[in-house]
Chain A
Amino acid sequence: MRLSEIKRILNAEVLWGEDRLDREVISACGSDFMSDVLAFVKNQALLLTGLVNPQVVRTADMLEMKCIIFVRGKVPGQSIVDLARERDIVVMTSPKRMYEACGLLYYNGLRGNCDGDD
């Protein structure tokens, strides 16, 4: 699924990377616990989180993720957006809550692809 499609489904606003929305992601991960993200990730390229701090970007960076979406309308500070820009990670914010955001993407075909999944 393209990031542009994800943006549309989640009614998201792009905070950085408007010119990179043609990127494809094949699976996603949603969590506020970064150690859980690090534990169960396989090839998820999209991170949905309600946590707002630089470690979210660093976690996504370690996993070579392509995009972070902050849920519940959270808007990270400029220093966090800059950190993501330096690492070439698209940043969006969506008014949807975590459960709804994950559900909408899953319903539209974006799966989890975690260890233990089918």
Chain B
Amino acid sequence: METIKLVYPVEGGDLIEAGEASSKMKLTLKKLGLPQDIIRRASICMYEGEINMVIHADGGEAQVEVDTDQIIIRMRDTGPGIPDVAQAMQEGFSTAGQTARELGFGAGMGLPNIKRYSDEMKIETELGKGTTVTVRIKIPQ
């Protein structure tokens, strides 16, 4: 199989509508016939990343590459950056505001959840420039 490349813009500003990009990716992965648990793990990573992009940055873009043996999801924003990545990775640490909490997020589980469901996770961040979270999910052969 050739590498399939997908790009999903993530709209900023409206947290109530966030999740559209993840829904679309999930449908595409289903059409490709990937195993259900792989689709679920990729969808959760993308969804948490998408929520983060809307809460902390003004949206961004997700690039997804699907190969026979792996899915790479690269979520890039031009938000404020993460001052302390180790702290952000702790379960329960959150800088999200009231709106996010009212919607059931902002409990400091976003990045830890992404790590939980991915095989590899990389965070590149620069204050004032933005953040890119890249995850790799292996597809068992």
Contact = CB atoms under 8 A, between A and B. Distances in A.
Interface of A: 32-39, 49, 51, 53-56, 58-59, 61-64, 87
A58 B22 contact: yes
A34 B105 contact: yes
Among B17, B19, B39, B48, find the residue whose CB has the most chain A CB atoms closer than 10 A.
Answer: B19
Interface stretch (B66-74, B110-118, B124-132, B133-141): B110-118
B105 A54 contact: no
A64 B112 contact: no
B22 A35 contact: no
Interface of B: 15-19, 22-23, 26, 36, 39-40, 43-44, 47-48, 51, 102-105, 107-110, 112-113, 116
B22 to A, nearest CB: 6
Main secondary structure of the interface of A (DSSP, over half): helix
Contacts of B36: 64
Given A33-B104, A34-B103, A62-B44, A39 B19 contact: no
List the 8 closest pairs (A to B, CB-CB), nearest first.
A34-B104, A35-B109, A58-B19, A62-B43, A55-B103, A35-B107, A62-B47, A51-B104
Contact of A35 (B18, B40, B104): B104
Contacts of B104: 32-35, 37, 49, 51, 53, 55-56, 59
B23 A61 contact: yes
A75 B131 CA distance: 38
B16 A54 contact: yes
22 contacts: A32-B104, A33-B105, A33-B107, A33-B109, A34-B103, A34-B104, A35-B107, A35-B108, A38-B44, A39-B113, A49-B104, A51-B103, A51-B104, A55-B15, A58-B19, A58-B22, A61-B19, A61-B26, A62-B44, A63-B44, A64-B36, A87-B23
